[in-house]
Chain A
């Protein structure tokens, strides 16, 4: 019982992070139908930038919370610029190219970003300085920390903000219209280029927030961390129905829970044949099963198939 609760708590934390990253994938895919492979790398850069800011401010005498906040802010800004630049430089010129072309470009950008990060931050794991005094709470035999509480509540807050943005603002309306039908949207006076750029910028900002969360949760970072994280978040987006914002959130949470529970119980389920180091396969197995039986994800897809 206590393990179950513990895994649920861990899964919720992980799921919140996946959900934020998945939103970045789903927004871009929903609007231009591109799997932005480099998004995981944007998240990684977010973590790394936050790390650098925090480390360099650590001895400045500022309050730890303020430092954390500055780190988050800088990281968000850097990622927004990065996301914008990615779209502008790499993807926009290829907007009318065959489908495979931008995908290969995305893979190329992902390799470039990874190696730039390696040149800047080195090939070793870097340790995140703990800025918050970690407090451990116990509930029903399971424990959780104030970091986890912060992660889940910040994620919830950011997602609420996004929902507001998409449903209550002009740019949000333009984004929804473009996702429905870019051609008609442009006839109605929507500036498609701006909408697409916004999708990248907002997605990258969410990614940066997620990156800071990952950093402070695991307290380590590595230049290759973006790959697996990105892949899983993409899985989450597909799970929820790609192009669907609420779906990405739900898919992220679900995937986090599945992974945590799977890792916790796989030994029991397989008679200790498979251990918890198989954690990473759950995402893919879930993905394959979902696509086999519900190709448009658990919560459906935006209407209209542009494939």
Chain B
């Protein structure tokens, strides 16, 4: 960005190296601590990181370029199905992950461009609806493309998807190195952490770049941005396509990790959840988005494990279906956070100022 900001970053590095060290230790410890409560907890941690990855991918689209994408999950689905179809007994194809993941990302990117090119000139709300519609179209196709030719196996989904495997090293099995035993989910945990760090670096570096400034300029005043010589359509398309590619990668990992995909995983609710992570946390602010992802993955799980015992303790029996109560709390959280912290839970100081001033 500029000298002042860059130097403030390096200052904070020096000041916070202890914090970073602590963070690294925590990141290393999480899968082992979580495993004490069972592998299910490691899987929850994995999902939190996968969502973090998705949310940071969407942050480029929504937070940086200011484009409201309500069909983000469609790109996630494209990546997931690409992996599932090319690495499972369904078609008898078993390509290695390093071929399929980039392929899935590329395909998602192509879809992003195809959808974005004609629609990005539209006003924000219309874009939201078009992307939402696109998400639904993709889901409907996945649900129904099992006849007359069975492509997606319909609502049953695709099973027995290959895990990520490097030579003989499979991410699905437990193995021991240097005296440390790692379960499948724990291995995926470290893979996901690496990917998450990658997407964080991408986010940070994009923000402080020529492209990042162009995105911010478009968000601030599109007409002025054009007058400065920015080809706004292409620059927006770039954000859209990049977000889509990240969605594609996340989808591939999801497929490999679960070993199973079905259209149910790619509902509109999923898109909304990811968007909510970005907005609740603090649009365009990387720590905020991470917080949003962790909270919104953790909160439902906490509610799942908390509501049932709570109800039994209070009423002696289950009064309200925990699943709907969980969603109810989620919905209320969206409403309340928007009402009382419209810039998100952890907005960048800049965004906070923006809001404070636009309020009057």
Chain B residue numbers with a CB within 8 Å of A295 are 121-123, 126
Chain B residue numbers with a CB within 8 Å of A98 are 342, 355, 358
Check: B311 CB closer than 8 A to any chain A CB: no
* Residues of chain A in range 80-112 having any CB-CB distance to chain B below 8 Å: 90, 93-94, 96-105, 107-112
How far apart sit A100 and B129, CA to CA, in the bound complex (Å)?
A: 13
Q: A104-B279, A105-B334, A292-B119 are in contact. Are A307 and B339 (CB under 8 A)?
A: no
How far apart sit A117 and B49, CA to CA, in the bound complex (Å)?
A: 32
Contact status B321-A123, CB under 8 Å? yes
Q: Report the interface size class on chain A.
A: 35 or more
Q: A90-B335, A103-B68, A104-B334 are in contact. Are A281 and B140 (CB under 8 A)?
A: yes
Pick from B118, B123, B331: contact of A108, CB under 8 Å: B331
Contact status A115-B327, CB under 8 Å? yes
* Residues of chain B in range 119-140 having any CB-CB distance to chain A below 8 Å: 119, 121-126, 128-130, 132-134, 136-137, 140
Q: A90-B335, A111-B330, A273-B148 are in contact. Are A284 and B123 (CB under 8 A)?
A: no
Chain B residue numbers with a CB within 8 Å of A123 are 321, 324
Chain A residue numbers with a CB within 8 Å of B360 are 96
Chain B residue numbers with a CB within 8 Å of A190 are none
Shortest CB distance A294–B (Å): 11
Shortest CB distance A75–B (Å): 22
* Residues of chain B in range 188-222 having any CB-CB distance to chain A below 8 Å: none
Check: B28 CB closer than 8 A to any chain A CB: no
Which of these binds chain B: A3-11, A53-61, A230-238? A230-238
Shortest CB distance A62–B (Å): 33
Check: B333 CB closer than 8 A to any chain A CB: yes
Main secondary structure of the interface of B (DSSP, over half): helix
Chain A residue numbers with a CB within 8 Å of B359 are 96-97
- What residue in chain A is nearest B62 (Cβ atoms)? A100
How far apart sit A278 and B138, CA to CA, in the bound complex (Å)?
A: 11
Check: A275 CB closer than 8 A to any chain B CB: yes
Contact status A115-B331, CB under 8 Å? yes
Check: B310 CB closer than 8 A to any chain A CB: no
Q: A97-B342, A104-B275, A275-B144 are in contact. Are A118 and B324 (CB under 8 A)?
A: yes
Check: B34 CB closer than 8 A to any chain A CB: no
Shortest CB distance B244–A (Å): 16
- 7 more contacts with CB within 8 A, not counting A104-B276, A111-B327, A235-B133, are A93-B339, A98-B342, A103-B125, A105-B334, A111-B334, A115-B331, A272-B148
30 intermolecular pairs with C-beta atoms under 8 Å apart: A35-B128, A35-B129, A97-B355, A98-B355, A98-B358, A100-B62, A100-B68, A101-B342, A104-B338, A107-B276, A108-B331, A109-B331, A110-B331, A111-B328, A111-B334, A114-B331, A115-B327, A115-B328, A227-B268, A231-B132, A235-B133, A238-B129, A281-B136, A284-B136, A288-B130, A291-B122, A291-B126, A295-B126, A305-B123, A307-B123
